[in-house]
Chains A and B, each alone.
Chain A
Amino acid sequence: MDKFTVFTAVAAPLIRPNIDTDAIIPSREMRTVSKQGLAGGLFAGWRYREIGSREPAPEFVLNQPAYAGAGILLAGDNFGCGSSREHAVWALREFGIRAVLAPSFAPIFHANCVRNGVLPAELPVAPIAALSAVVEADPVRHVVTIDLEAQEVCAPGAGPFRFAIDAESREMLLGGLDAIELTLKRQPAIDDFLSRDKRERPWIYLT
């Protein structure tokens, strides 16, 4: 997986609370058993004039020319709530979004981001508003820079602000690490647990 270290990109403000994974990618846009081909369905309900069409809705932020190539989303509270569908993160990533800044994230979405090299950075409402104000004045020139090592985000005239991310997720993103590989290194501990647990709770182990 790609490492996430320092990232600079156009940032798009989409500041509404409770943006759910149905909004990020509607179920109707998940048409094959694949992690690819999902970017076209990203925010489909808001991005296109009507359901089923691909005609851009001009007012939607990601359709505005100034936000072309956006790589960062500035968002509201409880971002990514709802369905566990990892397709939401796959669609964001394929579209080019590498980081979401929000006051809080839904837990499953947060984990899905980290598994796919997308940074979920927690930042309070006020600094997000400050970044948005600067960005909206000139989205193309006022790009946002995120430094994960330093846990800071800034834009010309705003910040730097320190954002929050748990140590585990930070490490995984910085190193581009694969969780399964890391876990398999713990095999002796897993084996010890299983041999003990099979004696203590035999009914758990089906044959």
Chain B
Amino acid sequence: MSQVATIAWVKLRMGVHAVASVRNESRLKVAVISISAIGLWLFVFGVFFEGFGWLARFGGTAGDFALTIGDVIMARMLSVLTLAVFFMLIFSNVLVAFSTLYRSREVAYLVQSPMSYRTLFVARFAECIVFSSWALAYLGSPMILAYGLVNGAGPAFYVASAAFYPPFVLLPAATGSLLTLVLARIFPRLRPKTLALLAAVVLGLFFVYVRIKLSADRLSEENFLPVLLDASAQTQSPFLPSFWTSRGILAAATGNLGECLFQFLLLLSNALMATWMAIEVASRLFYPGWSFLQGQDRKRLRPLGKGILGRLDSLLHRLPNPTRVLVIKDIKLFWRDPTQWSQFVIFFGIMAVYIANLRNARMYTENDFWRNWVACLNIGACTLILATLTSRFVFPLVSLEGRRFWVLGLAPISFRRIVWQKFWLSVATTSTFTVGLVVLSGIMLKLNSIYFILSVYSVCITNFGLAGLAVGLGTLYPNFHEENPARIVSGMGGTLNFVLSVAYVAVVVGAQTLVLNWRVLGLFQNPAAFWWALGGVLVLVTVVSGLGMIVPMRLGLRNLNNMEF
């Protein structure tokens, strides 16, 4: 057996053991996650099927095209999506390749083995591809199926889609790995300030581009189609692999197999070329880069009393111990982990984009119907952002104690205190951002008092419910073997927490939306009936939030108390 085949066999066995270990998981957890996974796939399929179906019903033709407007928009949408996915794949491959090639402990073992760096890279590269591209197969397949069904495509379309998939994921994987190999030689030599400046410039340019190209003002003008075609014109460049993919698949849908084959071979040859280049570069750059990173001078000083983190002790002096040291420890661990705060910064970006685009929604606040919908959607957006925050950052808090739990397990403090400390820390931090967000968005949307109060109340109460869910389920289903918070979140417990968080938000927002809509539609016989219904909904929301907080916290604590370390 070759060395690559041996490593592939080991990975396969590890995969088999991981699947087999599902038998040890709670049946409820497995059932909820399996149903959720199928449900999400069906939901994505439904959205694309309805969306493509709606576009297909567009009448008329677009200018000189022999196609309907719907066909043109659909084709452009496919191109835009393919391009976006292509760049996301490159980005995720850069991240995955860095952790797989340079951070993984497995690499140290492989480097000392009698294996060429070329072989080592090929083995790790295969893992990168699997890690970075499985989600595309899962979420891309319902889109392709929906497109095929709406357009009545023949079997050639589905065969072509499956055939395009391997080279389409291979090319960004090779490109991402190439970038990582080069960056790993350059970045460690740069000063932190230079890196921060570079990141700020890239982010700034990105926001300027988004502002210019994807402005809702432009898309809401009457000349919608030309604006859309103009905005998506860059996706039609014949130099883009995403264009070869979308064009090839669309050609297969219309039975133009010659065009499809040409685009496929174009994509395949480029993917193979990029892979060969990545292997060649790896054989020269991997080891010097890895060795340099291992041999860096690590004297990162963090003196007490210097900087904000160093002064936390005095800033939080009113908190009694051991709560104070637990809070300080959690804050420091969070801010000193780049994988944590870098993703937190992305959340800020999303919130900023959301706030910046709210002014475009003001045109919909002229009449009651739209005002009501915008207000309800705003509550939905704020609570969903909160659900994402708690799912990503709060859920892993207990798991991140990991193999260090002995420190807490030995201390003369109860687990109850530790778990509730994490709950209150979560409420304190997430409510700062989300209450601010809902107040700011309410002011920008000029919501009247009833909507404003409801929005703020919903976000406040869901802070407690979602924190309880995340901390409780994080304690009920901890993963003490994983150090990477992103992987903890993507596990079964994390998925269950996210699904339940979204379901909880749906109940909170859905109940309010229902009552407010009935009022706008005049379905209440008198104002008193509306107020009674609204009061009932608020009681329901409060009770559901209370249950969402208490039940998982109790179950989690019971689990932790029965746990052995």
Partners in one complex: no
Name A residues whose Cβ lies closer than 8 Å to a Cβ of B: none
Name B residues whose Cβ lies closer than 8 Å to a Cβ of A: none
